[in-house]
Amino acid sequence: MLNFTFENPTRIFFGKGQVKRLGEEVKRYAQRVLLLYGGGSIKANGIYGQVVAALNESGISYVELGGVKPNPRIDSVREGVRLCRENDLQLVLAAGGGSVIDCAKIIAAGFYYNGDPWDFFIRRARIAQALPVGVVLTLAATGSEMNNNAVISNEETREKKGLSSNLLFPRFAILDPVYTYTVPPLQTAAGVADIMSHVFEQYFSANSDAYLQDRMCEAVLKTCIRYGPIACAEPDNYEARANLMWASTIGLNGILSVGKLTDWATHMMEHEVSALYDVTHGVGLAILTPYWMEYVLDEATVSRFALYARNVWELTEGDEQELARQGIAKTREFFKSLGLPATLGEVGVKEDSLELMAERAAGGGTLGRLRKLGKEDVLRILRNAL
């Protein structure tokens, strides 16, 4: 097990009706907040009304910024920073999924930075201070509700980049599984794929001596496999929604990756796909994951994939190589069974853009750790997935 440091100060309020804690929590930090949300579905499903009522009851004033898109744009960040400054706001409240939360985090950091917030992503500036961020989660997927990461897209440069800073941990997150009842099946499925992909990146690591963490990874994967289909078929199944929501949080709050050399090649590749094509992140991951698995499966990695097949899919027949292949096939079938696309072609990716994506993903070096991938490797994986 590698040396590590771990800390995660986010306070979680989990369960039905936890929005009742919102006013009290916000008041610990702020009297005036930026209320950030996405495409307006929270108005249709009543979440917006509950959030606004909670703020009003506690006498907290708010300025709204809606319309944050999936794969959130740096433009939304700039607009949020402007609103926070103009209105002297003290906290950014994200009511949404990972895109809204990530946007909120960078608005919070941008507030204290005198340059353009994209500078954080191109390493021209470091985050030195940030407003507090609060979360009302509406989608089980990214884990952003309890971690220090943010991913933002730049439409001008057609880039999508991520960063981490301990200043970006949300102070609190309200996780009400009922708030995900109205998420449509395909988006639910994409969320499940996102959670599972986060776990794969941490599970298929270059070291195998973090036994406890590996078993915990399997716990999250099994949870997705059990409840993903149920949540798609019965959108208001509380047990399924609750387990998936908590799986999303555990999946990327840092507890699974400690002591491990994690991979993240599939994410790096997917970022390039969704930077160019604006594919839903979880969909891109569901497509690429089985192709990545097949590509990196070799003598050195076969035992890890066989372990995955045995412990997660409960497969028992065949030698290590056969088990590994069956486990990968099960993964592909599972995503398909949730109605997710299985090839890049299905989501509109064109052959002539693969070179650029591979180039950018490799960035002149390699990606991944289970097996290091150069530009040519990435290109092969993308071609296989087309």
| Site of interaction with a second copy (CB under 8 A) | 1-18, 21, 177, 209-213, 215-216, 218-220, 222-223, 226-227, 238-239, 242-243, 246-247, 250, 255, 258-259
**CB-CB contact of 200 with 266 (8 Å):** yes
Question: How far, in Å, CA of 166 to CA of 168, rounded?
Answer: 5
Q: Measured from the CB of residue 102, what is the shortest distance to a second copy in angstroms?
A: 22
Which residue's CB is nearer to a second copy, number 45 or number 207?
A: 207
Which residue's CB is nearer to a second copy, number 260 or number 271?
A: 260
Q: Measured from the CB of residue 242, what is the shortest distance to a second copy in angstroms?
A: 4
Which residue's CB is nearer to a second copy, number 203 or number 295?
A: 203
Which residue's CB is nearer to a second copy, number 65 or number 306?
A: 306
Q: Measured from the CB of residue 243, what is the shortest distance to a second copy in angstroms?
A: 5
Q: Measured from the CB of residue 143, what is the shortest distance to a second copy in angstroms?
A: 13
The token duo for 31 is 């009297």
Which residue's CB is nearer to a second copy, number 72 or number 251?
A: 251
Which residue's CB is nearer to a second copy, number 101 or number 268?
A: 101
Q: Measured from the CB of residue 81, what is the shortest distance to a second copy in angstroms?
A: 28
- C-alpha R_g of the chain: 20
Closest to 283 in 3D by CA, of 228, 343, 240, 226: 343
b/e map of 108-121 (b: 16 or more CB within 10 Å)? bbbbebeebbbebb
Q: Measured from the CB of residue 250, what is the shortest distance to a second copy in angstroms?
A: 7
The token duo for 63 is 């300025």
- Half-sphere exposure for 274 (CA within 13 Å, toward CB): 26
Q: Measured from the CB of residue 220, what is the shortest distance to a second copy in angstroms?
A: 7
Dihedral, CA atoms, 62, 143, 49, 243, nearest 10 degrees? -150
Q: What is the per-residue DSSP string for 70-128? A: SS-BHHHHHHHHHHHHHTT--EEEEEESHHHHHHHHHHHHHTT-SS-GGGGTTTSS---
Question: How far, in Å, CA of 40 to CA of 37, rounded?
Answer: 7
Q: Measured from the CB of residue 259, what is the shortest distance to a second copy in angstroms?
A: 7
The token duo for 251 is 């999946």
Q: Measured from the CB of residue 2, what is the shortest distance to a second copy in angstroms?
A: 7
**CB-CB contact of 342 with 335 (8 Å):** yes
- Report which residue type is found at 198: H
Helix axes 211-233, 320-337, angle to 10 degrees: 30
Question: How far, in Å, CA of 88 to CA of 82, rounded?
Answer: 10
Q: Measured from the CB of residue 360, what is the shortest distance to a second copy in angstroms?
A: 34
Question: How far, in Å, CA of 146 to CA of 253, rounded?
Answer: 5
Which residue's CB is nearer to a second copy, number 199 or number 381?
A: 199
**CB-CB contact of 367 with 264 (8 Å):** yes
Which residue's CB is nearer to a second copy, number 223 or number 331?
A: 223
Which residue's CB is nearer to a second copy, number 276 or number 338?
A: 338
Which residue's CB is nearer to a second copy, number 121 or number 227?
A: 227
The token duo for 352 is 């002539």
